[in-house]
Structure 1
Amino acid sequence: MKKSRFLIVVFLLVLTIFPTSIYADGEAQRANIYINNEKLDFNALIAYSGVAMVPFREIFEQYDMKVSWDNTSKTVTASSQDGSIVIKLSQDNKTAYVNGKSYSLSQTPFLGENILYVNLRFISESIGAKVNYDKPSLSIHITLPKAAKE
């Protein structure tokens, strides 16, 4: 019994240490991202679990949010210009915070090529956007709420 618990712990540690293993065959599919029908100049990485992950700074800047990075805790904090929305995510942590309320993530933010990747749907829906993933065309269409468009 102790041996099986030990093996489970080792397995979970390996998953944490090697976050790129979230991709099938070690390769990520890439999807085009469109915000209000305008194609972005960066792509989402589609994890094996089907979750679209994007570089944190690029997506928060697209949403006109102020961004800060705490290298010690590996935590990104983004806030809307008026401060009404504050999002906090940490590397390899399944818990995210929006305005202080905790949410469980389906895919943890991970560091890849010195860039923190975050869950595109979670970020987008946190600001009130609608997200539609078209799997056959590998396209993600995001419609921002009216307040965010102005």
Structure 2
Amino acid sequence: MKKNMFVLVVVLFITSIFSTSIYAAGEAQRANIYVNNEKLDFNALIAYSGVAMVPFREIFEQYDMKVSWDNTSKTVTASSQDGSTVIKLSQDNKTAYVNGKSYSLSQTPFLGENILYVNLRFISESIGAKVNYDKPALSIHITLPKTAKE
């Protein structure tokens, strides 16, 4: 009995460390996002790792990409309108795919408030955008390439 209780306490402790080290809604910093100098209606959450994370659907739709969600595998797939760029990300998976090529993420996509959050810089740079983070102003400025939504 004591052994089972010990294991349960250890599991709960480890779970609480991982869930709060990535994201805590009440304590996370929020940054304004500007795309081609236009302020977006949603903010980025700055994870404790320092990475700006955004709701997947909002950012992909902002970039005029088609979005699909597989609830079984917790995977989001986004495709440019012409199909030239396909991005795949999965919840809590450090590997992302752009056009079938794998990339290691500095921050895994995570679920917060029943929304999957993804790495803003990775998504933006995958479509050829330039990203500038103004840390003191808590603002992120993204310049889209001419081929992306303007």
Q: Normalization by structure 1: what TM-score? A: 0.87
Amino-acid identity (%): 90
* Structure 1: gaps spanning 5 or more residues: none
Q: Normalization by structure 2: what TM-score? A: 0.87
Q: 1:82 to 1:91 in 2, by over 3 A?
A: same
- With 25-34 and 86-95 compared, the bigger mean Cα shift is at 25-34
Paired position in structure 2 for 1:101? 101
Q: Aligned pair count? A: 150
How well do the aligned residues superpose, as a CA RMSD in angstroms?
3.9
Deviation at 1:15, TM superposition (A): 5.7
Q: 1:8 to 1:86 in 2, by over 3 A?
A: farther
Q: 1:54 to 1:20 in 2, by over 3 A?
A: farther
Q: 1:4 to 1:123 in 2, by over 3 A?
A: farther
For 1:33 and 1:26, locate their aligned partners in 2 and report how far apart those are by CA, in whole Å.
19
CA contact (8 A) 2:64 2:149 kept: no
Q: 1:149 to 1:66 in 2, by over 3 A?
A: closer
Deviation at 1:48, TM superposition (A): 1.2
Runs of 4+ in 1 over 4 A off after TM superposition: 1-13, 15-18, 23-26
Deviation at 1:20, TM superposition (A): 3.8
Deviation at 1:39, TM superposition (A): 0.1
* Structure 2: gaps spanning 5 or more residues: none
SS at match of 1:125: helix
